[in-house]
Amino acid sequence: MSVDSPDLTAVVLAGGHSVRMGRDKAWLPHPQTGTPLLTRQLDLVAKLAPRQRLVSARAGQSLPPLPNDVPRINDDGTAGPLGGIVASLAAAPTSHLLVIAVDLPQLDLDTLRRLLTHCDATHGAIATTTTGTEPLIAIYPRICLPALELALSQQQLGLKRLLRDPNIAAYFRFTLFDPCPTAFQNWNEPI
Contact 64, 26 (CB under 8 A): yes
Omega within 30 of 0 (cis) for the link into 179: yes
b/e per residue 119-137 (b: at least 16 CB within 10 A)? beeebbbbbbbeeebbbbb
Give pLDDT, residue 154.
94
Give pLDDT, residue 183.
79
Can you give the pTM of this predicted structure? 0.90
Q: Phi and psi (nearest 5°) for 111?
A: -60, -45
pLDDT tens for the chain, 191 residues: list them: 443 354 899 999 996 545 444 567 788 888 888 899 999 999 999 999 999 999 999 888 899 999 999 999 998 778 889 999 999 999 999 999 999 999 999 999 999 999 999 999 999 999 999 888 999 999 999 999 999 999 999 999 899 999 999 999 999 999 998 876 787 777 665 44
- Which one-letter DSSP state was computed for residue 29? B
Give the CA distances from residue 23 to residues 17, 54, 58, 148, in Å, rounded to whole numbers and listed in that order. 8, 22, 14, 29
Give pLDDT, residue 6.
45
